[in-house]
Amino acid sequence: MPDLLLELFSEEIPARMQAKAADDLRRMVTDKLVAEGLVYEGAKAFATPRRLALTVHGIPARQPDLKTERRGPKVGAPDAAVQGFLKATGLKSLDEAKIQRDPKGDFYIGLIEKPGRDAIDVLAEILPVIIRTFPWPKSMRWGARSGKPGSLNWVRPLHAITATFGPETEEPDVVKFEVDGIESGQTTYGHRFLAPAPISVRRFEDYEAKLLAAKVVLDAERRKDAILTDAKQLAFAQGFELVEDQNLLDEVAGLVEWPVVLMGSFEPEFLKTPDEVIRATIRNNQKCFVVRDPKTGKLASKFILVANIEATDGGKTIIAGNERVIRARLSDAKFFYETDLKTKLEDRLPKFEQIVFHEKLGTQAERIKRIERLAAEIAPLVGADVAKATRAAHLAKADLLTEVVGEFPEVQGLMGKYYALAQGEDASVAAACEEHYKPQGPADRVPTDPVSVVVALADKIDTLVGFWAIDEKPTGSKDPYALRRAALGVIRLIAENALRLSLIKVAGSALAGLSVKPADASKLPSDLLAFFADRLKVQLREQGARHDLVDAVFALGGQDDLLMIVRRVEALGKFLDTDDGKNLLAGTKRASNILSIEEKKDRRSFDGAPDAALYSLAEEKALAKAIGEVKAEAGAAVAREDFAAAMSAMAKLRPPVDAFFDKVRVNDDDAKVRENRLKLLNEIRSATRAVADFSKIQD
């Protein structure tokens, strides 16, 4: 079957847009093909700085013929209705229609046949529409046509369109169309400098091979592999090792079509600046990689750049130009760092009194005081030194006002650690200056130093409580203050450090420190706890746990110790994986369902202890006895936080529950016996609530 080759050749596409653009092109073309009845075998899209390309193989040469039936008016209907039906179906007379019998009468049925079109004609129709409606984040118009209505918008000036279609065994045809004066053809261009001449291409294999010969590596993954391999080898040859950076690699691969890896150097005196500042300077300003000395683990005074040209001088001029810029930028960074060291962190804090954190939550200075106060309250609960925790909370935000962080925001916190160590602060205090922002995502490292944990918790909980108090909660996909991330950070800090905290009490303490109070302050901690429950579901689901088990545990009420909730959910999950657990769940749900029906019918609940004197069957007595024993045993196990033992106790209910439903008729003719048995069912529900609300668990 025929294949499609499509290339959109333009000026340089921003690297950050290329991957999504390639995916959008593939999706838009293939979706249209399928909608037109042209089901393809496979598709792959590519992007370089100057082109988007797509190959779709296994496209049928022609659309299938379509046959559809259209129901018309009743036999004997008015002539106007009949003529409308004939016109809509394309029939010449009613003799060409069928008659279909129906309980409501006999109806005319028209068979509409729509012959399929050649796929190349369909492509010529859909491709211009896709090009004109392409979803670039930013686009532009250019040239003489730009002032005309309906002129093409593209990310950068579009110069050529290659579009060919045909089977492998034949010469492909050009898919002929025009967009804003640009006619499709089979001509593309190679590297801007190394092979700028036009290239005639036929199909994808021919296209890819000719581009490679013209110094263009079409596949971004292949460019990345070449850059990474060459960079590692070049560093190794000089006795160094490459500091890998996936994001930078992705960006650089989008800046070049023919990657050439070179090494430059800078003066060793710049190495007195922290490694992270050097790396940020070189990365942000010149998109270059840094290397380290494997013997010391410290950065070396070398960097690796990726050029887009094979220079006649071996790259000497390119290296010299990058060295000149990097030298100037490192000089600035060194100056910023040395200037910052002249001012102590605490001496910067008064400036925070003029910086508003949020108009309803006060200044940064007020927020720092709240974090200090909360850290002092949390510290004993975590086993951290109160004085160190308070000191760390006092200094943690100060580096936001330094020159280096102003230039490179990504090193905030880290520079706070360096400056704290430089002024002689305790190591734990310095570490907390860096680590109190962590974890910033599901893959980020969780602090373990008690002081860092305290300040991280205080910072995040103050943020959450503050925005809850002013009713700035996340809605839908909107979360401008990253409150979901903050809540997940709190969960991970507590769970991975095995901390015992009452979230409601800590949230209440944070609320007490706010100058603004919500309309109903008493509801805030419980509302926030529900938000934590939702975040915990996400976290546990990613770890393979069931979200309904979290609901079952939270439904018990008063559950604000996240560590115990996690452990209880884990034990409950293991229990429900057993036959005893599955059967007990089924029995409990059966009891709950019966109770719900009867309570609704009688408009009352069946609370209270059953009357043992009304037990007439052995199964009733056995169940009542088992419930009493299990309640005591499971309750004691939960009290000592041995949830596995509590689940084992629950398992003992399975046989008597099974026997009860097998032998006992709950809705007995005797009203007193019926009520007593319903109370016994309620006892089953009550007993299982020692570990979870089984009604919240999905079958």
Residues 550-572: pLDDT tens digits? 888 888 776 788 888 888 888 88
Angle at 25 between CA 19 and CA 30, to 5 degrees: 130
Burial of 202 (0-12, 13-18, 19+ CB in 10 A): middle
pLDDT at 521 over 90: no
- In this structure, what token pair is assigned to residue 264? 């430059």
Measured CA to CA in angstroms, residue 152 lies from 131, 143, 147, 498 at distances of 9, 10, 10, 59
Looking at residue 111, its pLDDT comes to 80
The Cα 643–Cα 639 span in angstroms is 9
Nearest to 499 by CA among 447, 574, 547: 447
pLDDT single digits (tens) 535-545: 888 888 787 77
Looking at residue 449, its pLDDT comes to 97
Give the pLDDT band of residue 523 (cuts 50, 70, 90).
confident
Nearest to 627 by CA among 594, 659, 650: 650
Nearest to 698 by CA among 520, 550, 494: 550
The better pLDDT of the pair 443, 175 is held by: 175
Measured CA to CA in angstroms, residue 280 lies from 329, 405, 411 at distances of 10, 11, 8
Give the pLDDT band of residue 157 (cuts 50, 70, 90).
very high
Q: What is the mean pLDDT of the chain?
A: 92
Looking at residue 119, its pLDDT comes to 95
pLDDT at 183 over 90: yes
Share of the chain above pLDDT 90, in %: 67
pLDDT single digits (tens) 356-373: 999 999 999 999 999 999
Give the pLDDT band of residue 107 (cuts 50, 70, 90).
confident
Give the pLDDT band of residue 95 (cuts 50, 70, 90).
confident
The better pLDDT of the pair 71, 118 is held by: 118
DSSP category for residue 236: H
Looking at residue 587, its pLDDT comes to 85
pLDDT single digits (tens) 484-501: 999 999 999 999 999 999
The better pLDDT of the pair 675, 690 is held by: 675
pLDDT at 310 over 80: yes
The better pLDDT of the pair 517, 122 is held by: 122
CB half-sphere exposure, 366, CA atoms < 13 A: 17
Lowest mean pLDDT among 208-212, 246-250, 608-612: 608-612
pLDDT single digits (tens) 331-357: 999 999 999 999 999 999 999 999 999
Looking at residue 607, its pLDDT comes to 87
SS3 at position 12: coil
Burial of 481 (0-12, 13-18, 19+ CB in 10 A): middle
The Cα 468–Cα 375 span in angstroms is 19
Residues in CB range of 606: below 8 A, 6 or more apart: 595, 598, 599, 675, 678, 679, 681, 682
pLDDT at 116 over 80: yes
pLDDT single digits (tens) 261-284: 999 999 999 999 999 999 999 999
- In this structure, what token pair is assigned to residue 672? 């007193």
Give the pLDDT band of residue 112 (cuts 50, 70, 90).
confident
Sequence-ordered alpha helix ranges (H) in 3-145: 15-35, 79-89, 119-132
Looking at residue 496, its pLDDT comes to 93
Residue with tokens 């005319």: 108
Looking at residue 205, its pLDDT comes to 95
Nearest to 109 by CA among 133, 137, 85, 76: 85
- In this structure, what token pair is assigned to residue 180? 């804003």
Looking at residue 450, its pLDDT comes to 97
pLDDT at 131 over 90: yes
Residue 389 phi, psi dihedral angles, 5° rounding: -65, -40
Nearest to 417 by CA among 443, 383, 444, 452: 452
